Amino acid sequence: MSGKSYKILISRVIPEVGISLLKDKCDLEIYQGEGVIPRQQLLQKIRHVDGLLCLLSESVDRELLDSAPRLKVVSNYAVGYDNIDVSYATEKGIVITNTPDVLTDATADLAWSLILAAARRVAEGDRLMRGKGFPGWSPLFLLGQDLKGKTLGVLGAGRIGTAVVERSRGSNMRILYFDRQTSDVLERDFSARKVSLPELLEKSDIVSIHLPFSRETHHLIDEKAISGMKKSAVLVNTARGPIIDEPELVNALREKRIAAAGLDVYENEPQITPGLTALENVVLTPHIGSATIQTRNDMARITAANLLAVLEGREPEAIVNPQLLKISK
Ligand code: DGY
């Protein structure tokens, strides 16, 4: 051993700012391979570490947690933590941390990129220009949806859902939201109305998803939900893929039961449902909601700082299972 206080596994190369926060105090092992660390390697390496800094592609389940006798903290390089069995980790006294706030604006910007691109058929136009070419201006060519004065429905009125609503100001949209909690900010500043899911789907021109993934939100947007949407509606998902029943969405888009969709996340990443890429009325991005230089640096800093804070007995900036704070001090 190097004489450094803690042994840490980092499951993928992250921006240098995170590494430099850790390297003086920790003995770091950084997985250098292409893509996701193979499960067997992860299970092997986790045996010897005090902390794991991982991505949403790593399943931190019972098997992994039971293979980690020294593990005190898992610092997830994401705000979402549906890849982690938080209740089992809590039972075992392992602190889980994440990266809220720092990726709110980047993700809200991406949601709006998808809203605009899907509503105005931007990707379809780009494909056409590069393929068949520009057939010339025409009154009925590539017509999309206006946004001004339309209704924006957000599923989830947390940080990102709120930031998406804030960005609708220029289009003077009516706002509906679906959430367990009442959002004072949305109601006060945007005259938003909290409604049931069926009402939101029935009345919204744009539906944007910003809920965490859980058993309750699995396939929340299924065949029945889609059938309650307007034929002219645009559905956007920058949250988690399994919130939408993806094969059902493919059917609905193919049959033009809704106008368009914009997706950044998929049910079985990195696989996507066959048929999706053949459709013109969907804009697809490869899970890049938080992919800006600034945001990824901020995520690296906060994951590293969270990890170190827990190991040194300090309160991390963001903790998923705060009930453990007393234990870890
Ligand atoms: C998250 O943080 O949960 C995103 O999906 C990845 O940035």
Range of the domain at 123: 104-284
Between CA 254 and CA 256 the distance in angstroms is 5
pLDDT at 328 over 50: no
* Mean per-residue pLDDT of the chain: 97
Q: Do 167 and 70 belong to one domain?
A: no
pLDDT digits (tens, 9 = 90+) for 97-112: 999 999 999 999 999 9
Pocket flag, ligand 1, residue 289 (CB < 6 Å): yes
Residue 251 in domain: yes
Report CA 64 to chain centroid distance, whole Å.
23
Q: Do 63 and 17 share a domain, yes or no?
A: yes
**What pLDDT was estimated at residue 303?**
98
Q: Judge contact between 210 and 236, C-beta under 8 A.
A: no
Q: Do 135 and 236 sit in the same domain of this protein?
A: yes
Residues 113 and 35 in one domain: no
In a domain, 275, yes or no: yes
Q: Measured from the CB, is residue 164 less than 6 Å from ligand 1?
A: no
Is pLDDT above 50 for 238? Answer: yes
pLDDT surpasses 90 at 3: no
Going along the chain, which residue ranges are E strands? 6-10, 26-30, 51-54, 73-76, 95-97, 151-155, 174-178, 193-194, 206-209, 234-237, 260-263, 282-284
Same domain for 136 and 207: yes
In the reported structure, the alpha carbon of residue 56 is separated from the centroid of ligand 1 by a whole-number distance in angstroms of: 7
pLDDT digits (tens, 9 = 90+) for 275-298: 999 999 999 999 999 999 999 999
Q: Which two tokens stand for residue 5?
A: 């206080």
Which positions are annotated as active-site residues? 240, 269, 287
- Mark whether 276 and 148 lie in a shared domain: yes
C-alpha neighbours within 13 Å on the C-beta side of residue 191: 5
Q: Is there an atom of ligand 1 within 6 Å of 80 CB?
A: yes
Whether residue 326 is predicted with pLDDT greater than 90 in this model: the reply is no
Compute the distance between CA of residue 21 and CA of residue 306 in angstroms, rounded to an integer: 11
Tell me which residue of 319, 188, 213, 325 sits closest to 268, measured CA to CA: 213
| Across 166-174, average pLDDT | 97
Instruction: Take atom 4 of ligand 1 and give the residue whose Cα is closest.
Output: 78
List, for residues 195-234, the tens digit of each pLDDT value.
999 999 999 999 999 999 999 999 999 999 999 999 999 9
Domains: count for the chain:
2
- Nearest atom in ligand 1 to the alpha carbon of residue 289 is 7
pLDDT in tens, 12-70: 999 999 999 999 999 999 999 999 999 999 999 999 999 999 999 999 999 999 999 99
CA of 45 to the centre of ligand 1 (A): 24
**Is 25 a domain residue?**
yes
Residue 68 sits in the same domain as residue 118: no
Residue 110 in any domain: the answer is yes
User: Ligand 1, from 290, 294, 306: best to mutate by most atoms within 8 Å of Cβ?
Assistant: 290
Res. 325 pLDDT band, cuts 50 70 90: confident
For residue 163, how far is its CA from the centre of ligand 1 (angstroms)? 15
**CB of residue 9 inside a 6 A radius of ligand 1:** no
| Last residue within a domain, chosen from 265, 284, 303 | 284
Among 170-179, 203-212, 219-228, 320-329, the range scoring the smallest mean pLDDT is: 320-329
Domain shared by 181 and 93, yes or no: no
Whether the Cβ atoms of residue 175 and residue 168 lie closer than 8 Å to each other: yes
Q: How far does the centroid of ligand 1 lie from the alpha carbon of residue 102, in Å?
A: 10
User: In this structure, is residue 266 part of a structural domain?
Assistant: yes
Q: Strand order in 206-209's β-sheet?
A: 193-194, 174-178, 151-155, 206-209, 234-237, 260-263, 282-284
What CATH number should be reported for the domain holding residue 112?
3.40.50.720
**Quick one: 176 and 214 in the same domain?**
yes
Which residue has its alpha carbon closest to ligand 1 atom 2?
78
Say if ligand 1 is within 6 A of residue 78 CB. Answer: yes
DSSP secondary-structure letter at 135? -
Q: Are residues 10 and 92 in the same domain?
A: yes
Let me know if residue 1 belongs to a domain: no
Residue 223 lies in a domain: yes
Asked which of 264, 284, 304 is the last residue of a domain, the reply is: 284
Task: Indicate if ligand 1 lies below 6 Å from the C-beta of 300.
Answer: no
46 with 76, same domain: the answer is yes
- Predicted pLDDT at 2: 62
Both 123 and 193 in one domain: the answer is yes
